[in-house]
Structure 1
Amino acid sequence: MMVFFPKQADKISTDPTTHGSLFVPVILGSNKTTVSVATGQNKYYSLYISVGNVHNNVQQAHRNAVVLLGFLAIPKIPEIVRCANMHLRHVIYGIGPYIADYPEQALLACIVQGWCARCIALPNNLDGEGGQHYDHTEVLADFLDLHVLRDQYGIVSNIVPFTHDFPCADIHEILAPDLLHQVIKGTFKDHLVTWVEDYLNLIYGKKHAEEISDDIDRWIAAAPSFSGLQQFPQGRGFKQWTGDDSKALMKVYLPAIEGYVPPDIICTFRAFLDFFYLVQHDTYSDSSIQQVQDTGKDFHRTRVIFQTLGHYPLLICMFGSPNGLCSSITESRQITAVKEPWHRSSRYEALGQMLLVNQQLDKLAASCVDFTMRGMLTVRQYSTKCYELSLQLNQPRLVELIRWFLYSQARINDCDAPSAFDIPLHQCPTFNSRVVATHSAIAYFMHQRDPSITGIRGLDVVQIFAFLSFSHNNTTYPCALIQWFFHILDEPDELTGMWKVQPDTNNNASPSLEIIHLDCIFCSAHLMPVFSEYGHCFIPSDIDFTNSLDRFSTFYINKYIDRHAFGLGQLDM
């Protein structure tokens, strides 16, 4: 995140006693959880703490950058602390962004649910103008009674926020944006998915709409695997949704509904997904913040709905990327820090036992990282003999592919050299060395085709069967055994904004295989079948996520699978 917090920095720099000190924003988050529904409704109101001086990838890697808070002393004068770069700095702690879902935001800000915790906009126009401050609340409380304040201003005036007496913190200002509940669950799951269901019921009638919804569920269940992508064996037809459910569904939902809904609805989902990934950048410039604002307006133009998305440009300027402040960070810690330790306890005076379990889990996590770095954890082993390895990988052409690869590497700087596949195999170098194969699931990656072309336009999709390493003439080659895909069109699909690809084949219709150097591989890719190939015919029941890549011939390069793929896709627009 690494945000500068200009207001606090200005105050520190103008005070001779604190000049040159580092401001560390303390990020707080709270979440109430029930650890047992069947036996007594045991509830815990947990408070979490992090700091704003770590990067988003550390926050999201579950490396315990967010910890369960026991007690924190806030010093009033600079404290000398050794930073990660081993330098000693004077540090001043202050309350930074506070992570909470909307019910807890309303509780913290002492407002009526349905009103905005950040501004004085009316409930039917939460994107309205006007900031909320406790000074404003105090002035209203001096002239209006409790009922008027509650009904007309949404203020609960007989209690005060916990920041009331803090000199440098106003709860209305420090409430962080919440991607999970405002965008993922609120806008996508509670509104847009429901909107599609209402449309299908209106156009096709309830019975046929249910059949279409079931078919959409089967399309979702057929989404191919990807690192970190949750699978939906039964589609999205389950009653208890989690944040991970909604977030995973967002990544595959647009291709699944194409063909069943009109283009305007597809454009609405596309605008929403663009906004969602734009607010997850690690860094922002004036132009990227303006892009967030413009994309939010595009979404509102395609679907008129009042959501608290209009505050995001300002909140990004104040706190940095919302991706590092999402309540999913604290909710994910709820399971490991509260629920699982409670289930491991005796249930009697469980708090001390839970704290001990947390301490032990932290030590185990640190040990796992240390053991991995030392190479102490075992991995699957393949044969190092080339012939035996070709049988294990079910790739009988492995030896000849390696020989063609060695031929091309020997002439890598010769622009006039013929393609290795145009050369008879007997003219290629012989190969009898050992080959080291790294176990990996069959995955899809981007191969850099032309470094001068940005975005996915300059990349090819390849399917990787195995990562290999071998030596020849005292040179070690880290490689990958791949199958090529090719772009169908010269531009992304106009409706979805995603590129379409197909697997490449040789003249005899066999897969186009090759061994390439790892330096050519740019990043991972996710392919979604173009389900509209089936038209309005229902998907065969035997297609699922394990075989959908083999049953379809055309695929989208899914730029909505993660923010890195989205960033590449934006370069093509």
Structure 2
Amino acid sequence: MKIYLGAVAGYLPSDMMKCLSAFMDFCYLVRRNALAAPDIENIKNTLARFHHYRQIFIDSGVRVDISLPRQHSLVHYPRSVYLFGSPNGLCSSITESKHIKAVKEPWRRSNRYNALSQMLRTLTRLDKLSALKSVFTKRGMMAGTTSSYTGRVLAGEQPQVEAAEAAAALADNEDDDDGTVHGPKSLSSIDLAPTPQRSYPKELNALAAHIQQPRFPELFRRYLHEEVHGPPAEDTPPVPIDACPVFGGRITVHHSAVARFYAPSDLGGAGGMYRERIRSNPNWHGYARRDTVLVDVAAPTMNGLVIGRVHLFFSFTFHDKVYECALVNWLVPVGDSPDPDTGMWVVETERERGRPTLAIINPMPLPARHISLVSTVPQPSPSTSIIQTHWTLLILIL
């Protein structure tokens, strides 16, 4: 749904945009796993805003009246939440998808005569096969071939896959984008992919030339100065580059990082934890991919969040301490509030003297989450995009 507003922005009347924005806000609000009294009032206000602005569809001749059962059901949500609790993303499509797996497909496998017992037998066998596959995977029996596994057993080996190795393999799987994190709720974290990329130079200046970022060595040395001496006070001139530490160690580059955070509105684990992979890869299936992230740094706008496009993930050791950092290009909001029609923040690339600004950050202790920017049509400028306010709210609960 979030992409739709960006696609139609500028083409529909203002009241239509506000109506669609109010409806989407309502959908995101009722998806929360916990709703307090202020949230219910917010839902009521959002619903009233939706009912007010939907009159534009009658005034413009799109409809004669609005009498739709599913839209009418929205007015019952606040009272139903008081009676039965938060819907937490419950949707009729969930039961429909389960109906396909539990009823339709087993029915097709039966001979249509006294099918119930056959369907139950099919479901039981599928559950047993799924459990058996899980056991075989833990024992390492799904890796390689049957003959190779048998040969290792006959040779006296015990081909077990340790949990740590399995987790490392998952973290290194570049095709694994996101998923649930099992276990209780915990603090947010970001970890670089365990395996570094070997095609990059290890020396600072050579790496800067390789990634075509000539300011990278200066930014790197200033970052080290702040790590050693602390951030400078406001309104102070920049430290001369000669006063910054000189680095002669090795730098390793990573193409991705895995962020783990608390996201109760997503399909996460029992504790509400979820993970997403953030990529900065110059050749992702033939194209450069530079993901965009939200980082909570107590900024004055956007509820304390800033947006950065990741150009490089890298790590190094300085004074016996390991640093895991990211080279980012900041995107700044246009204005101090979201767009009045879409309810989404409009952002553009931050520039200094006509060039995009760059910064080195250590995102590992900071709550961060991958987001998708939606280009406006027509675009105010080539670099302008919009993001949804809902994504901002998700970061605040990490």
TM norm structure 1:
0.45
Residues 207-239 of structure 1: CA deviation (Å, up to 9, x unaligned): xxxxxxxxxxxxxxxxxxxxxxxxxxxxxxxxx
Which residue of structure 1 lines up, in the alignment, with residue 226 of structure 2?
408
Residues 1:416 and 1:297: Cα distance change in structure 2 (over 3 Å): closer
Candidates 328, 338, 348, aligned match of 1:492: 338
In structure 1, what residue type is equivalent to 2:78?
P
Which residue of structure 1 lines up, in the alignment, with residue 21 of structure 2?
270
Residues 1:287 and 1:430: Cα distance change in structure 2 (over 3 Å): same
Contact 1:530–1:554 (CA<8 Å) still a contact in 2?
A: yes
Which has more radius of gyration? Answer: 1
Alpha-carbon distance, 1:336 to partner: 5.7
Cα separation, 2, equivalents of 1:413 and 1:259: 43
Contact 2:328–2:358 (CA<8 Å) still a contact in 1?
A: yes
Residues 268-306 of structure 1: CA deviation (Å, up to 9, x unaligned): 111111111111122111121122122212212222534
Which residue of structure 1 lines up, in the alignment, with residue 124 of structure 2?
355
Which residue of structure 2 lines up, in the alignment, with residue 320 of structure 1?
85
Alpha-carbon distance, 1:313 to partner: 0.8
Residues 1:430 and 1:281: Cα distance change in structure 2 (over 3 Å): same
Residues 1:299 and 1:411: Cα distance change in structure 2 (over 3 Å): same
Name the Cα RMSD after superposition: 3.7
Answer yes or no: is 1:298 the counterpart of 2:67. no
Cα separation, 1, equivalents of 2:12 and 2:334: 24
Q: How does 1:107-506 map to 2 (within 5 A)?
A: 250-303=1-54, 305-306=66-67, 307-334=72-99, 351=119, 352-361=121-130, 364=133, 374-377=167-170, 378-379=172-173, 381=195, 382-383=197-198, 385-387=201-203, 395=213, 398-415=216-233, 423-424=240-241, 427-439=244-256, 440-441=279-280, 442-450=290-298, 453=300, 456-506=302-352
SS at match of 2:233: coil
Q: How does 1:541-552 map to 2 (within 5 A)?
A: 552=382
Candidates 362, 368, 371, aligned match of 1:517: 362
**Aligned length, in residue pairs:** 297
Cα separation, 2, equivalents of 1:407 and 1:449: 20
In structure 1, what residue type is equivalent to 2:383?
S
Residues 143-191 of structure 1: CA deviation (Å, up to 9, x unaligned): xxxxxxxxxxxxxxxxxxxxxxxxxxxxxxxxxxxxxxxxxxxxxxxxx
Residues 1:533 and 1:436: Cα distance change in structure 2 (over 3 Å): closer
In structure 2, what residue type is equivalent to 1:360?
L
SS at match of 2:88: helix
Cα separation, 1, equivalents of 2:173 and 2:207: 16
Alpha-carbon distance, 1:415 to partner: 2.3
Higher relative contact order (CA 8 A, sep 6+): 2
Cα separation, 2, equivalents of 1:354 and 1:295: 43
Alpha-carbon distance, 1:416 to partner: 5.8
Cα separation, 2, equivalents of 1:392 and 1:294: 53
Alpha-carbon distance, 1:468 to partner: 2.5
Alpha-carbon distance, 1:462 to partner: 0.7
Residues 1:567 and 1:416: Cα distance change in structure 2 (over 3 Å): closer
Segments of structure 1 that go 5 or more residues without pairing to the other structure are 1-249, 535-550
Contact 1:407–1:429 (CA<8 Å) still a contact in 2?
A: no
Which residue of structure 2 lines up, in the alignment, with residue 228 of structure 1?
none
In structure 2, what residue type is equivalent to 1:496?
T
Which residue of structure 2 lines up, in the alignment, with residue 565 of structure 1?
392
Segments of structure 2 that go 5 or more residues without pairing to the other structure are 56-65, 139-161, 175-194, 257-278, 281-289
Alpha-carbon distance, 1:472 to partner: 0.7
Residues 311-366 of structure 1: CA deviation (Å, up to 9, x unaligned): 111221233221243233334445665677789x6989863344323433355568
Residues 1:300 and 1:554: Cα distance change in structure 2 (over 3 Å): same
Contact 1:254–1:266 (CA<8 Å) still a contact in 2?
A: yes
Alpha-carbon distance, 1:482 to partner: 0.7
Residues 1:503 and 1:347: Cα distance change in structure 2 (over 3 Å): farther
Alpha-carbon distance, 1:438 to partner: 4.4
Residues 1:417 and 1:335: Cα distance change in structure 2 (over 3 Å): farther
TM norm structure 2:
0.62
Residues 1:370 and 1:276: Cα distance change in structure 2 (over 3 Å): farther
In structure 2, what residue type is equivalent to 1:359?
K
Residues 1:434 and 1:407: Cα distance change in structure 2 (over 3 Å): same
Which has the larger share of strand? Answer: 2
Cα separation, 1, equivalents of 2:371 and 2:47: 26
Residues 510-551 of structure 1: CA deviation (Å, up to 9, x unaligned): 3322210113454333322221337xxxxxxxxxxxxxxxx8
Residues 1:564 and 1:319: Cα distance change in structure 2 (over 3 Å): farther
Residues 437-475 of structure 1: CA deviation (Å, up to 9, x unaligned): 242252111233436x5x714322110133332221012
SS at match of 1:355: helix
Identity %: 28
In structure 2, what residue type is equivalent to 1:357?
L
